[in-house]
């Protein structure tokens, strides 16, 4: 029993010694580890950590630095508190700044002008000392800065190709009726002057309203019996024409309606004629002064005058063998019933 007791006691003692040795080894390792960490950490950080851990001491970060500007807090009602510039004060400040800038610019410009004048004076003095006669030559040869107007290059009419700018439009060929209307337009101006020459001062104006034809005479207002006879003779020719036109009224309406269907935009058709009447009243010839643009209409009017002849004899006071009687026949195309008018 004593032997087993002794053996157990020795085992316990050995275990206790082993534990103590283990603790010592672990302590030594811990101390070495702490020593290494302490070497790596900066002394400032260690002191700061100590201050933070120490409750008696105040934290240094909360203290203001001696170099920092003092912070002053004001109440809202404090009059000594600095105030921001209002909207009324801002334009005054801007105006002051602008005036200062302008004065600075003016000063710099004046300084530059003074320096340039001084340089010119020095140059002139040196020239006078060397050769006073050459002063004028030097001043004349100085480069003068002049404004030069840059004129645009002149474009010649021959160099411009109009086909490049104007798009080519395919023109359709004109119909027969359109060609006649175009030819009538071209000859209307010439025909008017020719018609004025044909009248030779006998008739200046003719007009018709309904069935009553009248001629307005332009002159000095004195009564001329020969002219009155001539006017009455013209009225007889017109009345003969209207009688013949009434005989072929249906064919006339057909001709005009066909023209209106082909040319709905045209408002009037007109033909100018010159009647050559012999002394005995026979119709010698009908000359077309200007065409209406529609041959059927022109032929119908000429045929109507031929059917209206012979006319009464020409008055005796006309010494010529034949009388040239200019007349214009027109038809308004806006009316529902077409009529022949003298104009």
Write the pLDDT tens digit of every residue in 183-196: 666 655 454 444 44
Query: What is the value of pTM for the model shown?
Result: 0.38
Among 75-89, 230-244, 263-277, name the one with the lowest average pLDDT: 75-89
The two tokens of residue 325 are: 């009687």
Question: How large is the angle between the packed helices 134-141 and 89-130, nearest 10 degrees?
Answer: 140
Average pLDDT estimate for 158-177: 57
According to DSSP, the residues that pair with 272 across neighbouring strands are: 290, 328
In the three-class reduction of DSSP (H, G, I as helix; E, B as strand; rest coil), residue 9 is classed as helix
Q: Which residue has the higher pLDDT, 33 or 277?
A: 277
Cα distances (Å, whole numbers) of residue 82 to 68, 89, 96, 97, 292: 20, 15, 21, 22, 99
Domain edges within the chain:
88-132, 176-342
Q: Which residue has the higher pLDDT, 58 or 337?
A: 337
Among candidate residues 188, 202, 165, 236, the one with its CA nearest the CA of residue 320: 202
Q: Is 50 exceeded by the pLDDT of residue 265?
A: yes
Model pLDDT, residue 61: 47
Of residues 288 and 154, which shows the higher confidence score? 288
Question: Per-residue pLDDT tens for 62-102?
Answer: 455 555 555 555 555 555 555 555 555 566 777 777 777 77
């Amino acid at each position: 029993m004593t032997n087993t007791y002794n053996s157990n006691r020795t085992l316990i003692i050995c275990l206790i010694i082993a534990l103590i040795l283990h603790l010592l080894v672990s302590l030594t390792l811990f101390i070495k580890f702490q020593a290494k960490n302490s070497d790596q950490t900066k002394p400032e950080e260690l002191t700061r950590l100590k201050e933070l851990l120490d409750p008696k001491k105040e934290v240094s970060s909360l203290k203001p630095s001696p170099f920092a500007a003092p912070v002053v807090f004001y109440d809202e009602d404090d009059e000594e508190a600095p105030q921001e510039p209002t909207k009324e004060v801002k334009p005054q400040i801007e105006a002051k700044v602008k005036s200062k800038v302008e004065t600075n610019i003016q000063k710099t410009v004046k300084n530059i002008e003074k320096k340039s004048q001084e340089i010119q004076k020095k140059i002139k003095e040196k020239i006078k000392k060397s050769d006073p006669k050459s002063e004028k030559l030097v001043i004349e040869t100085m480069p003068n800065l002049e404004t030069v107007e840059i004129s645009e290059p002149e474009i010649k009419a021959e160099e411009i190709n109009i086909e490049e700018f104007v798009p080519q439009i395919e023109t359709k060929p004109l119909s027969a009726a359109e060609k006649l209307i175009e030819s009538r337009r071209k000859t209307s101006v010439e025909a008017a002057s020719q018609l004025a020459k044909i009248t030779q001062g006998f008739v200046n104006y003719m007009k018709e309203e309904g069935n009553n034809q009248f001629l307005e005479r332009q002159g000095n207002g004195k009564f001329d019996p020969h002219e009155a006879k001539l006017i009455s003779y013209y009225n007889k020719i017109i009345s003969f024409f209207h009688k013949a036109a009434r005989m072929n009224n249906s064919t006339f309406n057909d001709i005009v309606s066909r023209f209106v269907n082909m040319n709905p935009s045209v408002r009037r058709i007109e033909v100018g004629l010159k009647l050559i009447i012999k002394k005995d009243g026979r119709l010698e010839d009908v000359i077309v002064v200007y065409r209406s643009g529609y041959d059927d209409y022109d032929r119908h009017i000429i045929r109507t005058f031929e059917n209206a002849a012979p006319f009464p004899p020409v008055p005796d006071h006309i010494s010529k063998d034949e009388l040239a009687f200019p007349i214009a026949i027109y038809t308004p195309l806006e009316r529902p019933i077409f009529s022949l008018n003298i104009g």
